[in-house]
Amino acid sequence: MTQTSSRANEYNLSASQMQEMEADVLILLQELIRIPSVNFGEGKGDEKAVAQYCAAKLAEVGIESELVETATNRVNVIAKIAGADQSKPGIVVHGHIDVVPANAQDWSVDPFGGILKDGHIWGRGAVDMKDGVAMFLAIARAWARAGFTPPRNVLLIFFADEEAGSVYGSRWLVKNRPELFAGYSEAISEVGGFSVTITGGHRLYFVETAEKGIQWMKLTAKGDAGHGSFINPANAITKLSRALTRIGEHQWPARETKTGSKFFGKIAELVGEKYDPANPRPLLRHIGGAARMMGATVQNTANPTMLEAGYKANVIPGSASAVVDGRFLPGFEDELVSTLRSLTGDDAEIEVMVRDKALEVDFEGALVQGMCDAILAEDPEGVPVPYLMSGGTDNKALSDLGIVGYGFSPVKLPPDLDFFALFHGVDERIPVDGLIFGVRVLARFLSNC
């Protein structure tokens, strides 16, 4: 465990209360992991037990919460913590309590064991995102034990169903319970504030300020059904294959976004190279494993992901279909749509199955300054930067109500840990020291924001 700062009063907690919070977050994460809350998609999930656990941990310190069940066993947790300044807009602090499945045979440990090993806590959800849930819980509990009132109202929410489109979580609550969010203007959640060590040993902290948009499309090719032994120039599978090959092999051009400009501009500055807005890709070599995701944030992407055709070896089907996962940069949705229609041509028809907006907010203002100050207070050598995430979070649903969201659940990581590979991956784990760093940063930030 890291040593508690002698300046504990900056967190509005005493030194002993800080130590209790740091110990609490470790236990909370282990216990959260041990409650399987797997989301299998297609409405098949169960967050009830973990939601009840969160509510019980809040109740232990006198914090009331509401459990909102949106379908059988799909449960959300809502708690309101009153702030000192009721005239100031509140902040939503939210996480999701569902996790993706884990095949135990692929893991070196029990994925739901929550074990402490080699200085890490292991298990499904350790980074996505029961670590954030544990930090939020630990801070709320520490405040309650200390009798501390945060500067403004805090809406603490643990959502269901984030891993399958948020139908039973944030989207349901935004649509059916919008009054819950009245008076709240900003939000923080997952996948932001983590460290990435780049060339030269510079330690960047990625604060998520933008998310790519989504267009999941179904392509359907129609042709002439017939016997598998005949010559058939109008084979639906052949037509669909042509379209998918063009899409899968298409080289998308690099596009500049506000967030990307600041992100790659800072990297170029630190490593002593030039930032070329038309081609920032050479800078990716400086960020290690993070390049896997960040490479997808300089361009639109479209990947064929599912195929369906035929029912017998000697029958040419009359139709064939596929699903393409399209992701677009903020401001470049039209380019994605027009390019895919051009690549598909007359070989298939396109139907949009799922569409969700892209998000981008400025890396400035009092809340952002508070994030940066909290990081630098714990790591004076750190460099906070905004980044664009290739996926999405529950902040998209909240944005429908005008709430400005950021990814900020900090963790300090060792330089050699491939953080992005752990998301939905095998042997998911988080370093204990990094988790304690994160709860200290968040406690400082939320106590003063």
What the chain holds in terms of domains, given with CATH numbers, is 8-208+359-446 (3.40.630.10), 213-254+296-357 (3.30.70.360)
The Cα–Cα gap between 203 and 50 comes to: 34
- Close Cβ partners of 171 (under 8 Å, ≥ 6 residues apart): 165, 397
- Integer angstrom CA distances of residue 275 from 240, 255, 341, 383, 434: 39, 13, 32, 18, 31
Question: Would you place residue 9 in the very low, low, confident or very high pLDDT band (cuts 50, 70, 90)?
Answer: low
Main-chain phi, psi angles of 107, to 5 degrees: -95, 155
Q: What is the mean pLDDT of residues 357-377?
A: 96
- Close Cβ partners of 121 (under 8 Å, ≥ 6 residues apart): 26, 29, 30, 33, 114, 115, 429, 430, 432, 435
The Cα–Cα gap between 45 and 422 comes to: 21
Q: What is the mean pLDDT of residues 255-275?
A: 96
Single-letter residue type at 430: I
The Cα–Cα gap between 237 and 316 comes to: 8
CA geometry: angle 414, 416, 419, nearest 5 deg = 75
pLDDT in tens, 57-70: 999 999 999 999 99
Q: Quick one: pLDDT at residue 6?
A: 39
The Cα–Cα gap between 351 and 168 comes to: 24
Work out the percent of the chain whose per-residue pLDDT is above 90.
92
Single-letter residue type at 171: R
Q: 3-state SS of the chain?
A: CCCCCCCHHHHCCCHHHHHHHHHHHHHHHHHHHCCCCEEEECCEECCHHHHHHHHHHHHCCCCCCEEEEEECCEEEEEEEECCCCCCCCEEEEEEECCECCCCHHHCCCCCCCCCEECCEEECCCCCCCHHHHHHHHHHHHHHHHHCCCCCCCEEEEEECCHHHCCCCCHHHHHHHCHHHHCCEEEEEECCCCEEEECHHHCEEEEEEEEECEEEEEEEEEECCCEECCCCCCCCHHHHHHHHHHHHHHCCCCCCCCHHHHHHHHHHHHHHCCCCCCCCCHHHHHHCHHHHHHHHHHCCCEEEEEEEEECCCCCEECCEEEEEEEEEECCCCHHHHHHHHHHHHCCCCEEEEEEEECCEECCCCCHHHHHHHHHHHHHCCCEEEEEEEECCCCCHHHHHCCCCEEEECCCECCCCCCCHHHHCCCCCCEEEHHHHHHHHHHHHHHHCCC
State both tokens at 39.
Answer: 């989301």
pLDDT in tens, 420-438: 888 889 999 999 999 999 9
Instruction: Tell me if 401 sits within 8 A of 174, measured CB to CB.
Output: yes
Q: Quick one: pLDDT at residue 5?
A: 40
Q: Quick one: pLDDT at residue 2?
A: 38
Q: Is residue 7's pLDDT more than 80?
A: no
DSSP-assigned beta bridge partners for residue 44: 41
pLDDT in tens, 167-205: 999 999 999 999 999 999 999 999 999 999 999 999 999
Mean pLDDT score across all residues of the chain: 94
Question: Would you place residue 303 in the very low, low, confident or very high pLDDT band (cuts 50, 70, 90)?
Answer: very high
- Integer angstrom CA distances of residue 178 from 392, 394, 406: 21, 14, 20
Q: Quick one: pLDDT at residue 266?
A: 97
Q: Quick one: pLDDT at residue 421?
A: 85
pLDDT in tens, 337-357: 999 999 999 999 999 998 999
Least confident of 11-15, 216-220, 239-243, 377-381: 11-15
Residue 297: CB atoms within 10 A of its CB come to: 24
Q: What is the mean pLDDT of residues 296-321?
A: 96
Q: Quick one: pLDDT at residue 1?
A: 32
pLDDT in tens, 92-130: 999 999 999 999 999 999 999 999 999 999 999 999 999
Residue entry with tokens 């203007």? 185
* pLDDT: which is higher, 292 or 38: 38
Question: Would you place residue 244 in the very low, low, confident or very high pLDDT band (cuts 50, 70, 90)?
Answer: very high
- Residues in the chain, overall count: 449
Work out the percent of the chain whose per-residue pLDDT is above 70.
98
pLDDT in tens, 129-138: 999 999 999 9
Burial (CB < 10 A; 0-12, 13-18, 19+), residue 342, is exposed
Q: Is residue 448's pLDDT more than 60?
A: yes
- Sign of the C-alpha dihedral computed for residues 203, 207, 208 and 209 taken in this order: negative
